[in-house]
Amino acid sequence: MSVPVLHDYWRSSASYRVRIGAGLKGVALETVSVDLRTDAHLSGALDALNPQRLVPVLECEEGALTQSLAILEYFDDLYPERPLLPGDPWARAQQRALAQIIACDVHPVCNLRVLRRLRSMGHDDAEVRSWMHTWMAAGFEALEARAGDAAFLGGDTAMLPDVVLVPQVYNARRFELDLTPYPRLVAIAERCEALPAFAQAAPREP
Ligand SMILES: N[C@@H](CCC(=O)N[C@@H](CS)C(=O)NCC(=O)O)C(=O)O
């Protein structure tokens, strides 16, 4: 079986999730960089793999798979030995719900294309940053209330919500959101960042 190829961008938080998950599960990946800064994702080269023109995309023998959470769950189905989700249906649903606070409600409204659209409508950098802070804070506030619940987020073993949290904390720091209202999330992120799979997946400019 050939090694799957991850089309990613070093600063993409959705790609960062997949790199973490692959590391935790011991899935070997080759990576191809799609430079969002130079609009490589909009050049047409990615269209056959992902008509959405977003990264990450996992290219494997079966074909192309998009959406970071779908990729992570595909890894989980293929390699169940080190699960990212628990077996119990209620606990699985709870963990998916936490991950989706970030993946479905925070990340999409802070994505590059949304920020570009805001700028094209005349919003300046301060307004765009304020927009991002609003939605990141809303998600973090909800997650902080659940953080430290060992069954769901920040337990002894990094699970799906942790995999999604760490890249969002990276983004929050990058865009200078004040994280002091979320001490439990910060502690969880720092603990995870020290783990080899998270450290190896961390954004690094090539
Ligand atoms: N829901 C998708 C989101 C993918 C996504 O939005 N990726 C970003 C990078 S983190 C991207 O390619 N943005 C390009 C753009 O907005 O033009 C996933 O989880 O994979």
Indicate if ligand 1 lies below 6 Å from the C-beta of 57: no
| 33 Cα–ligand 1 center, Å | 14
Tens digit of each residue's pLDDT (9 = 90 or more) over 129-176: 999 999 999 999 999 999 877 667 778 899 999 999 999 999 999 999
Indicate if ligand 1 lies below 6 Å from the C-beta of 111: yes
Ligand 1, atom 1, lies closest to the CA of: 67
Indicate if ligand 1 lies below 6 Å from the C-beta of 12: yes
Indicate if ligand 1 lies below 6 Å from the C-beta of 168: no
3-state secondary structure the chain: CCCCEEEECCCCHHHHHHHHHHHHHCCCCEEEECCHHHCHHHCCCCCCCCCCCCCCEEEECCEEEECHHHHHHHHHHHCCCCCCCCCCHHHHHHHHHHHHHHHHHHHHHHCHHHHHHHHHCCCCHHHHHHHHHHHHHHHHHHHHHHCCCCCCCCCCCCCHHHHHHHHHHHHHHHCCCCCCCCHHHHHHHHHHHCCHHHHHHCCCCC
Indicate if ligand 1 lies below 6 Å from the C-beta of 113: yes
pLDDT for the residue numbered 152: 73
pLDDT for the residue numbered 172: 98
Report the nearest atom of ligand 1 relative to the CA of 112.
16
Q: Which domains, and CATH codes, for the chain?
A: 5-78 (3.40.30.10), 89-195 (1.20.1050.10)
Ligand 1, atom 17, lies closest to the CA of: 113
pLDDT for the residue numbered 155: 81
| Confidence (pTM) | 0.97
Query: Average pLDDT of 72-100?
Result: 96
pLDDT for the residue numbered 1: 67
Indicate if ligand 1 lies below 6 Å from the C-beta of 54: yes
pLDDT for the residue numbered 156: 84
Indicate if ligand 1 lies below 6 Å from the C-beta of 103: yes
Report the nearest atom of ligand 1 relative to the CA of 113.
16
